[in-house]
Amino acid sequence: MVTTLRITTRNARFQQLGTLLTNRTKRGRAGEFLVQGVRPISMAVEHGWTVRTLLYDAEARLSDWAQGLLRSTGAELVAMAPALLAELAEKQDGTVELLAVVEMPPDDLSRVAAGPSFLGVVFDRPTQPGNIGAIARSADAFGAQALITTGHAADAYDPRSVRASTGSLFAVPVVRSPSHREVMTWVQAQRDAGLPLVVVATDEHGDLDAADHDLTAPTLLLTGNETAGLSRAWLDAADVVVRIPMAGSASSLNASNAAAIVLYEAHRQRAAAGRPG
């Protein structure tokens, strides 16, 4: 285990690391993002993501978990003053022993593997990074194989999204696509290859309840922007539009909650049919 750098002041390298927290453009140019927490970092390693740098507390006695990572990942090792490490982790109490700088994968729809049991989610124009992470977590929990964000959207690699996913970002491919057009080109390619992929939109004015539609076929679920819902283009592209029946005075659900409900319904139907995915 060889430490290649020590950071004890807010020097140029520290400033560069800080931009990974706050500056989406610079995060994208660098092609890397910050990850904190035992489970998220462990899942990144387990699922084969490239860890470029490990930042650790230069003054603490590190856990066996942290020491194992420092020895085994092959990443650049940077010892940091604890207060600076806590600042990068956005932790007020200062209890951080390790942060990882992880390489972003390409935003390429070829990362989405579609098959007979395919279940994927499109999140159209999300504005809240936390909702992206929350949907990634639900997708992972209910057996979906991909999450795609489309349009002018919040960043899946924003620290708020990464934290909200609790590591599921590394288990479920999350791909950012410029618009519905690229995704529908991918959908058509799957259909041309013989996969009967069904595009299912969710909207409060849907034609039928989600529970009344067969979600056991290969399915791409569409969830809309937190305020405006799905774009007209996505509603037109959908094969069917389903709704979530509600009681009470609420007029709508949070986007991540709505996605979780329909993902659960798909999982329930598939389990009942003996095809859990």
Beta bridge pairs of residue 202: 242
- Residue in 98, 162, 168, 107 with CA at minimum distance from that of residue 136: 168
First to last CA, the chain: 41
The DSSP annotation for 9-75 comes to SS-HHHHHHHHHHH-HHHHHHHTEEEEESHHHHHHHHHTT--EEEEEEESSS---HHHHHHHHHS--
Residue range 98-115: average pLDDT?
Answer: 96
pLDDT at 93 over 80: no
Of all helices (H) and strands (E), which one includes residue 230? none
pLDDT at 137 over 70: yes
Rounded Cα distance between 275 and 277, Å, is 6
**pLDDT for position 4:** 76
**pLDDT for position 94:** 64
**pLDDT for position 253:** 80
pLDDT at 260 over 80: yes
Beta bridge pairs of residue 177: 150
Q: pLDDT tens, 162-220?
A: 999 999 999 999 999 999 999 999 999 999 999 999 999 999 889 999 999 999 999 99
Question: Who has greater pLDDT, 74 or 276?
Answer: 74
- Residue in 51, 65, 75 with CA at minimum distance from that of residue 2: 75
Give the pLDDT band of residue 250 (cuts 50, 70, 90). low
Question: Who has greater pLDDT, 246 or 131?
Answer: 131
**Side-chain half-sphere CA neighbours of 128 within 13 A:** 14
Task: Determine the angle formed by the axes of helices 38-46 and 64-72, rounding to 10 degrees.
Answer: 30
Q: Which residues contact 21 (CB under 8 A, 6 or more apart)?
A: 34, 88, 90, 159
What percentage of the chain reaches a pLDDT higher than 70?
Answer: 96
**pLDDT for position 158:** 97
pLDDT at 276 over 70: no
Q: pLDDT tens, 47-87?
A: 999 999 999 999 999 999 999 999 999 999 999 999 999 99
Q: Two tokens at 98?
A: 């390790």
pLDDT at 277 over 70: no
Q: Which residues contact 68 (CB under 8 A, 6 or more apart)?
A: none
Q: What is the average pLDDT value for the chain, to the nearest integer?
A: 94
Q: pLDDT tens, 8-52?
A: 999 999 999 999 999 999 999 999 999 999 999 999 999 999 999
pLDDT at 147 over 80: yes
